Amino acid sequence: MKSKGEATISVEHVKKVYATKKLEYVALSDVSLSIKKGEFVSVLGPSGSGKTTLMNLIGTLDRPTRGKIFLDGVDTSSLDDNQLAQIRNQKIGFIFQSYNLVPYLNVLQNVTLPLMVEAKDTPENLERAKSLLIEIGMENTFEKKPNELSGGQQQRVAIARALVNQPPIILGDEPTGNLDTKTAEAVLKLLTRVSRENNTTVLIVTHNPELTEITERSIYMKDGLIERETKHKR
């Protein structure tokens, strides 16, 4: 399929209505945005403004009520659930709030699991998994099981796991939410590095205005709409 310019992520007039038995709730009313390959973008906005909803839609975990989302020029609305699952595996690294670590696997096994699944567990890739963990301060935890880790440590395992296959797109929903300032900085440095070195497109939701300075562009959401955007010097 033809690529739409340089945009890795293209959201066109997306509306999302959550329907419950009693009422309908418009979480996104009309959102359009375009993110270029290799861009590092942050999403901000008050609680309930639709940030997670937008991330879920871009990550193809849910479908819009109206409008379209293109990933690398592919219209995701034209794909069935199996094709979407394939896109997710190949293209997207998720750092979401439920970390979904496998309880009976240790830290290193959790991080290398995506490599095993894709049969990419080469010595070089396994080494990269270790250095990712070391880069975010997890060097002494390789043998630990998830239930022996703090929330912030589990979050870091999920971050390393999202990056290990070097996906072209990283989506993070408050990826530093449970981390102290120093560890959060290490994670953001890591995300900055992958966006520069691998041309990875990174989109993160954060409540911390200071952290957004590191990103190239911030998108502010309010009441299911994009209120404004700002660009940052890096």
Ligand X SMILES: Nc1ncnc2c1ncn2[C@@H]1O[C@H](COP(=O)(O)OP(=O)(O)OP(=O)(O)O)[C@@H](O)[C@H]1O
Binding site for ligand X (CB under 6 A): 18, 20, 25, 27, 45, 47-53
* Residues 149, 157 contacting (CB under 8 angstroms): yes
Structure tokens, 19: 């329907």
Q: Which residue is nearest to Mg ion (CB)?
A: 52
Q: Residues with Cβ < 8 Å from 205, sequence gap 6 or more? A: 42, 43, 44, 51, 52, 55, 172, 173, 174
Q: Residues with Cβ < 8 Å from 195, sequence gap 6 or more? A: 38, 39, 40, 201, 202
Q: Which residue, 39 or 173, has its beta carbon nearer to Mg ion? A: 173
Indicate the residue type of 56: N
In the complex, minimum distance from the CB of residue 154 to Mg ion, in angstroms, rounded to a whole number: 18
Touching Mg ion, residues 43-82 (CB under 5 A): 51-52
Q: Which does 47 bind (CB under 5 to 8 A by kind): ligand X, Mg ion, none?
A: ligand X
Q: Which does 104 bind (CB under 5 to 8 A by kind): ligand X, Mg ion, none?
A: none
Q: Which does 48 bind (CB under 5 to 8 A by kind): ligand X, Mg ion, none?
A: ligand X
Q: Which residue, 49 or 201, has its beta carbon nearer to Mg ion? A: 49
> Counting contacts by CB under 5 A, is residue 178 touching Mg ion?
no
In the complex, minimum distance from the CB of residue 9 to ligand X, in angstroms, rounded to a whole number: 17
Indicate the residue type of 164: V
Q: Which residue, 52 or 178, has its beta carbon nearer to Mg ion? A: 52
Indicate the residue type of 166: Q
Q: Which does 50 bind (CB under 5 to 8 A by kind): ligand X, Mg ion, none?
A: ligand X
Q: Bridge-partner residues for 66, per DSSP?
A: 15
The CA distances from residue 219 to 7, 44, 71, 179, in Å, are 16, 6, 19, 22
In the complex, minimum distance from the CB of residue 201 to ligand X, in angstroms, rounded to a whole number: 20
Q: Which residue, 29 or 125, has its beta carbon nearer to ligand X? A: 29
Q: Which residue, 20 or 147, has its beta carbon nearer to ligand X? A: 20
Instruction: Provide the 3-class DSSP secondary structure of residue 53.
Output: helix
In the complex, minimum distance from the CB of residue 66 to ligand X, in angstroms, rounded to a whole number: 16
DSSP letter, residue 191:
H
Structure tokens, 109: 């096994």
In the complex, minimum distance from the CB of residue 8 to ligand X, in angstroms, rounded to a whole number: 22
Contacts with Mg ion by CB under 5 A lie at 51-52
